[in-house]
Structure 1
Amino acid sequence: MTRPNPVTFFAFLLAILVAMGGAALMKGGFFIGRHEGDTLHLVQIVFRMVAGEVPHVDFMTPIGALAFWPIAFFVERGMGIGMAILWAQVAFAAFMLPALWWVGYSRLSRGVALLFGLIVMGLLLALVYGEAQRSISFSMHYNRWAWAATFIAVVAALLPPVHPNRPAIDGVVIGTMMAVLVMIKVTYFAAFALPIILALVLGKRLSTLLFAVLTGGAIAVAITLFVGVDYWLAYIGDLQTVANSDVRPQPGEPLSAVMGAPAYIAGSLVAIAGVIFVRQSGRANEGLILLLLVPGFFYVTFQNFGNDPQWLLLLGVVLLALLPTPDVTNSMGLNLRTAQLVTAAMALALIAPSFANMLYSPFRHLRVDETTYAPILPRGGIHTDLQTADLRALRVDGRVALDGEGSGLEQFREAARRDEQAQFMGEVFPYCTTELGLPAMFDAVTRDLEEVGLAEGKRLLAADLFSSYWLYGSLERLEGGAPWYYGGLPGFESADYLLVPFCPVSHDLQVMILKAVTERGTDDLREIRRTPLYILFEKTG
């Protein structure tokens, strides 16, 4: 096997970091093309952290603090949120680069190492979460970062080092990557911890496993000393809340579809074929670990919006790294080296559109026409460097039901099987959802509250997916609130108002929230303002 030159390989990784990271930064701001709601979710969390709040302890989120802390770090130092996001991504990729370099250099051939490096750095530095939709989006960046950490940990555990053999370094790398997964998105840790441990045990690399456990434990202790034991209890509580919630049991296709639907069945069959060929080539342990990884691949993909099977990138790399010698055949006479090469090529081809989309997304960002964009936070001062397409920021479009009373379509309403209609304090709300223009909607409502003297120093809970209004003016953030609604009434005890939009982002969630408020009791609520956009109820108790 031709080993990668350590200096050349490091320079290659650094060149990707400079090219992709530099292209993203050169624009002088962050210009997204969709997912404004997800972006506001991120902004809420970052601003809360900058204000001294601790995730899970002071507000609800199932996503780990490491997904947001690098961004908060740069905002705390006076950077606008748009550039802070981009610099945070570059900084996180730089943090991951030494581990990636070590794993690629110590156990992969030159060509496979270069491919692996390109894949992981591409995941870390992309400005879109995947799929083939070209619009720039930072939504679910934590999934990309978690996949990158998973790839490094799996390759380090599954493939023994060729040279040099440094169990301590391998253990530190694996332990650090697993800690990264815990602190970004626990789903990944839960899905891949057991196969990684078994890979080290079956490979008789117990010293590496020991160093990994010690490293992970040391990181956990350090975090505990910094934020306290309550942090972990609150983190577990948030995860349990989301797991038991009916709000968003799955962000996309059901698990069976992720494994067997037309868009995914080819990848599933390629994974099974890869396991078979690896085992037939005489690598029984590696084949077993690969088989144990497959359920985790499916589960994480099922949990991620878009259901992009990014694991196909890792499968391709592993199959190329485990190629047998040219003379190895199975009982049917099939040349297994050729079979694995074809299977690896199929895996990489299936995910190529998504990966290509990620790989050149920073260069698309560099070429956007910023004159067609508008700030997501129009009164955000330095934070106006985070922008979205002006049509998405300023054009407010909704989806409404046309089969209401007097429409001539009443006879179809029952057969249409619409979701339950929102009702509250004797009033029935029409079917309507806001599809476009969230920044304009939040800004308009907040300005209206300010104009009538109802905003300064006040807190509100919106009967909707987001309560982002405090980002747009003089309202205060909810104590113990949830930047993304997962159930219950988080933060309502600290609220001065309940705001009921006539056209929420999510009609279903409005129904759930209003039911929860009704069950809590409405005796201390009185209507104090009504506009074409919302009803505002004040808490009198």
Structure 2
Amino acid sequence: MGRISPIRYIVFLAVLILVLGGAGLAKGGLYLTQHEGDATHMVDVLLRMGLGQVPHLDFSTPIGIFAFLPIRWMMDAGLGVGQAFVAAQVLIAVLFAPLVARVALSRLTGLAAWGFGVVAVAMILALVHGGNVTAISVAMYYNRWAWVASFIAVLLAVLPERDGDKAPLIDGVIAGLMLAVLALIKPTYFVGFVLPVAFGFVLRGAWRSLFAGLMSGLAVALAMVAIYGTEFFPAYVADLLTVTRSGNRAAPGVSFVDVLNAPRFLIGTLTLILSIIVLRQAGRDRTGLLLLLLAPGFVYVTYQNFGNDPQWLILLCILLLAERPERGRRVLFNTDARGAIAALALVAFALIAPSLQNIVTSPFHNLVVKTEGYVPPFADRTGLDDLFVSERRASMMLTRENLAARHPELAPYAGDEKVFAPLEFLGESMPHCALQLGDLAVHRYMADRLKEPPFNFPATSQFFVADLASAIWIFGDFAPLKGGAPWYYSGTPGVENADAIIVPTCPVDPGVARRVLAGLESAGLTLSAPLRDPMMLVYPVVKE
């Protein structure tokens, strides 16, 4: 198959960025249809960074700083958070375009090359994480960026460059930078793919590439230390360890076994196993071995990601298309090797096609959305008025309660479920209640009440909220809790700086609230008697 013109390919990527990025920006804002809590988490982090706080050093989060810096840069340039989010993705797509082109032009041909370009640009510029339900969401956007960085590093390491396209130092630098990006966006991907990428270069004898990769990765690490100080990486590691101790987010989706053999995943797992076997039988021993080494990373990353979208199937499809041998070789079931590999690539594509379709079309969904019925939940804050949510979802407050607690006559018919046990804190007992919808409205109410009697908290107040997440400080224009966690994982981060402990009577996640309250009782705090509201108990902290 003929070589692809570099100019033609770069123009192709530029057009993709222009079309998808332009569609995302043209609406003038983001109109979210789900995952408002994730959007609030993103806004929380970005506002803290706007106040000069640094992730890991000034507040706790296991998500790396590179997941937020591009968006914060765009906000600092004057864009609202909605437009800044899309503009940041455009910036990343532009920065990644030469790297995507290097992979495609040196290692891929035909459909694999063009398809890789479409997938890489679309995944960066998407306005949904994937899935098979049409939606607009900023949830897990950093996972999309990380998948593309992983694809680039893996393809450079696994596939040999064609004669005439050899540039081992450049390939190594790119791979090293991509792994560094993974480490500073979401280390799950770094852990899953760093060894297969290194082995890929070793098995090809690309020692110069391996050395260049190590040096470029080290350079990024040294740059981070120079900018943020020697405490940055220990603090980052400490934040990551909070997730391993978390009872609610160490594995945010289905079990590891289910990721392998649940109905949604089993065909993908079998396709991966068959691909390894067929590649080795077809004479692609090295690629088959490296695919075997990549398999644990594929499963681990999918297991760790909420939603458990197996985006690695896209990479598998591209690898299979790139490694089709000439006709004549016979493989499993005495089939032609080229046809068998093409068939496996088709199966991999078909399995991930619904998610990929959602990704590619999401900017256009935002472009054509009818804006009636959407409201900006943070309109009172400068720079947040171009992020919209459904008014119905934002204002409808729905809870899940233990009916037997309200109607004692049902108690003999109820199971002895510990999950429905009342929340207990310092002698107070609160019946089980979970806020399933309307957390933004409830948090706005709580923020307003905290300014009024009997609470009367000033704007400088910092609160520790016993729940999964809270927008109270954003709505009330209070100070963010220094050392706190925008999204709770474990422990009592930042509690030493709190002016008051807020215990919601109907938290978003009662299981999290139960663990937080247990930690607070052993934290050694001196608390005043609670100030009461139907939606919260507020315990002022007695400062020594």
TM bin (shorter chain): over 0.9
Aligned to 1:89: 89
Instruction: Check whether the contact 2:254–2:303 (CA below 8 A) recurs between aligned residues.
Output: yes
Aligned to 1:149: 149
Aligned to 2:44: 44
Aligned to 1:12: 12
CA distance in 1 between partners of 2:383 and 2:53 (Å): 21
User: 3-state SS of the aligned residue for 1:297?
Assistant: helix
CA distance in 2 between partners of 1:432 and 1:326 (Å): 64
1:83 Cα deviation (Å)?
1.2
1:232 Cα deviation (Å)?
0.6
The one-letter code sitting in structure 1 at the alignment partner of 2:465 is A
Instruction: Check whether the contact 1:478–1:495 (CA below 8 A) recurs between aligned residues.
Output: yes
Counterpart selection for 1:533 from 532, 535, 538: 535
Aligned to 1:500: 503
1:419 Cα deviation (Å)?
4.3
The one-letter code sitting in structure 1 at the alignment partner of 2:532 is R
1:416 Cα deviation (Å)?
4.5
Deviations 1:169-206 (A, max 9, x none): 11111111111101101111111111111111111111
Instruction: Check whether the contact 1:446–1:455 (CA below 8 A) recurs between aligned residues.
Output: no
After superposing the two structures, state which structure 1 stretch, 27-36 or 408-417, moved more: 408-417
1:489 aligns with 2:503: no
CA distance in 2 between partners of 1:406 and 1:206 (Å): 71
User: 3-state SS of the aligned residue for 2:343?
Assistant: helix
After superposing the two structures, state which structure 1 stretch, 86-95 or 327-336, moved more: 327-336
The one-letter code sitting in structure 2 at the alignment partner of 1:227 is Y
1:331 Cα deviation (Å)?
7.2
Instruction: Check whether the contact 1:464–1:506 (CA below 8 A) recurs between aligned residues.
Output: yes
User: 3-state SS of the aligned residue for 1:414?
Assistant: coil
CA distance in 2 between partners of 1:318 and 1:143 (Å): 20
1:91 Cα deviation (Å)?
0.9
1:405 Cα deviation (Å)?
5.0
1:247 Cα deviation (Å)?
2.9
Aligned to 2:185: 184
After superposing the two structures, state which structure 1 stretch, 319-328 or 420-429, moved more: 420-429
1:424 Cα deviation (Å)?
1.2
1:249 Cα deviation (Å)?
2.3
Instruction: Check whether the contact 2:444–2:471 (CA below 8 A) recurs between aligned residues.
Output: no
1:398 aligns with 2:396: no
CA distance in 2 between partners of 1:400 and 1:393 (Å): 20
Instruction: Check whether the contact 2:242–2:491 (CA below 8 A) recurs between aligned residues.
Output: no
CA distance in 2 between partners of 1:381 and 1:229 (Å): 33
Instruction: Check whether the contact 2:396–2:437 (CA below 8 A) recurs between aligned residues.
Output: yes
CA distance in 1 between partners of 2:382 and 2:154 (Å): 43
Aligned to 2:208: 207
Deviations 1:354-378 (A, max 9, x none): 0001110000000111121011213
1:415 Cα deviation (Å)?
3.9
Instruction: Check whether the contact 1:398–1:435 (CA below 8 A) recurs between aligned residues.
Output: yes
1:217 Cα deviation (Å)?
1.2
Aligned to 1:284: 285
Q: Percent identity?
A: 39
Counterpart selection for 1:480 from 483, 487, 510: 483
User: 3-state SS of the aligned residue for 1:423?
Assistant: strand
**Superposed counterparts of 1:336-355, under 5 Å:** 336-355=337-356
1:332 Cα deviation (Å)?
5.0
CA distance in 2 between partners of 1:490 and 1:87 (Å): 32
**Superposed counterparts of 1:30-429, under 5 Å:** 30-162=30-162, 163-330=164-331, 332-404=333-405, 406-429=407-430
1:407 Cα deviation (Å)?
4.2
1:510 aligns with 2:492: no
Aligned to 2:27: 27
Deviations 1:395-437 (A, max 9, x none): 2111111111534211133344534431112121111111111
1:270 Cα deviation (Å)?
0.2
Instruction: Check whether the contact 1:191–1:299 (CA below 8 A) recurs between aligned residues.
Output: yes
Instruction: Check whether the contact 1:461–1:467 (CA below 8 A) recurs between aligned residues.
Output: no
After superposing the two structures, state which structure 1 stretch, 443-452 or 135-144, moved more: 443-452
CA distance in 2 between partners of 1:35 and 1:123 (Å): 18
Instruction: Check whether the contact 2:57–2:232 (CA below 8 A) recurs between aligned residues.
Output: yes
Aligned to 1:467: 470
The one-letter code sitting in structure 1 at the alignment partner of 2:538 is L
**What number of residue pairs does the alignment pair up?**
540
Instruction: Check whether the contact 1:375–1:386 (CA below 8 A) recurs between aligned residues.
Output: yes
CA distance in 1 between partners of 2:356 and 2:169 (Å): 33
CA distance in 1 between partners of 2:251 and 2:122 (Å): 26
Aligned to 2:451: 450
CA distance in 2 between partners of 1:420 and 1:264 (Å): 35
CA distance in 1 between partners of 2:236 and 2:70 (Å): 19
CA distance in 1 between partners of 2:177 and 2:419 (Å): 48
The one-letter code sitting in structure 2 at the alignment partner of 1:143 is N
Q: Which runs of 5+ in 1 are unaligned?
A: none
Q: Which runs of 5+ in 2 are unaligned?
A: none
After superposing the two structures, state which structure 1 stretch, 6-15 or 340-349, moved more: 6-15
Deviations 1:138-195 (A, max 9, x none): 1011111100000011111111111311112111111111111011011111111111
The one-letter code sitting in structure 1 at the alignment partner of 2:276 is V
User: 3-state SS of the aligned residue for 1:7?
Assistant: helix
After superposing the two structures, state which structure 1 stretch, 299-308 or 483-492, moved more: 483-492
CA distance in 2 between partners of 1:215 and 1:185 (Å): 18
User: 3-state SS of the aligned residue for 1:137?
Assistant: coil
Deviations 1:72-109 (A, max 9, x none): 11112222111111111111111111100111111110
Deviations 1:211-251 (A, max 9, x none): 11111111111111111111011111111121122232211
1:2 Cα deviation (Å)?
2.2
CA distance in 2 between partners of 1:332 and 1:433 (Å): 54
Instruction: Check whether the contact 1:464–1:504 (CA below 8 A) recurs between aligned residues.
Output: yes
